[in-house]
Amino acid sequence: MDKLLKPIEKVGDFAIFFINTILAFGEANKVFGEVFRQIAIIGFDSLLIVGGSSTFVGLVAALLVSFQVKDYVPANIIGMGIWKGTIIELAPVLTALVIAGRVGGGLASQIGTMRVTEQIDALEVMGINPYRFIVLPRVIASIISIPILTAIATFISISAALIFTTYVYGMSYNELVAGMRSSYSDRDLLVGAVKSIIFGIIITFISCYEGFNSEGGAIGVGLSAMRAVVYSSVLILVADFIISYYFYGG
């Protein structure tokens, strides 16, 4: 019975955590300085790893698409496939998974350390809202940073794919770009943006929640960081399917 009730209790705890964080948005004007600091940590400090991973995402996309169909399909169709696959799926999802690993685990361990060393309890004793002081700046920063990182990842991935298909497979750059232009749709940009925002919310809320509820010293903090990465990654994939089905399933 306890095993059945525990997940339900965890969902209830997360709902309370989520509501308290949303209510803290009323004091968002008090955390601007911390928001900018978190943007630097979540966004700027992630540029190198996102840029590197995005390069190889583009190369793999170009390799798979071009190698399979280059003898049967015109270059403009290949360009269309690279554009669609990158902007709708590869860039948002893989960027979010990289950020979940780098930032999610870090947030959970940082906040978890604050919990087990009773710093969060000290904030509550001093009358400072820990949701406003700790969670809110990180949520706002992720909503700003992750879409920007996704846009950068999209540009790098498509550039790498174009370079690879042009110089390795000898395809026409102009035809590839023409295919991308002909397949351009505002809806594709919207889907990519919506996914990046939702993924950022998932990563931050899950990671902060796990850190906020850490217990058991260093081992507990490590488990919280592990759960933050695993839960965020799984929910990113679930959300990816739901959003894609909403926009394209019909």
Which residues, in sequence order, are CB contacts of 230 under 8 Å at separation 6+?
none
**CB-based contact 200:96 (threshold 8 Å):** yes
Q: What is the pLDDT of residues 15-24, one digit of tens each?
A: 888 898 898 8
Give the mean pLDDT of the chain: 85
The rounded radius of gyration (Å) of the Cα atoms in the chain is 21
Domain span at residue 53 reads: 2-248
| pLDDT for 2 | 59
Total domains in the fold of the chain: 1
- DSSP letters, 15-60, are HHHHHHHHHGGGGGGG-HHHHHHHHHHHTGGGHHHHHHHHHHHHHH
Q: What is the pLDDT of residues 67-83, one digit of tens each?
A: 666 666 677 777 888 88
Query: What number of other Cβ atoms are within 10 A of residue 194's Cβ?
Result: 16
Alpha helix stretches (DSSP H) within the chain:
2-23, 32-42, 47-69, 75-84, 91-99, 105-116, 119-125, 130, 136-167, 173-182, 186-212, 217-248
Q: What is the pLDDT of residues 94-124, one digit of tens each?
A: 899 999 988 888 889 988 888 888 888 888 8
Cα 55 from chain centroid (whole Å): 17
| pLDDT for 199 | 94
Using CA atoms, how far residue 18 sits from 25, 93, 114, 135, in Å, is 11, 23, 19, 10
Instruction: Assess whether pLDDT exceeds 60 at residue 1.
Output: no
- pTM here is 0.89
Report the distance separating Cα 103 and Cα 97, nearest Å: 10
Report the distance separating Cα 91 and Cα 79, nearest Å: 16
Count of residues in the chain: 250
Q: Which residue has the tokens 């399917």?
A: 241
Instruction: Assess whether pLDDT exceeds 70 at residue 56.
Output: yes
Report the distance separating Cα 139 and Cα 145, nearest Å: 10
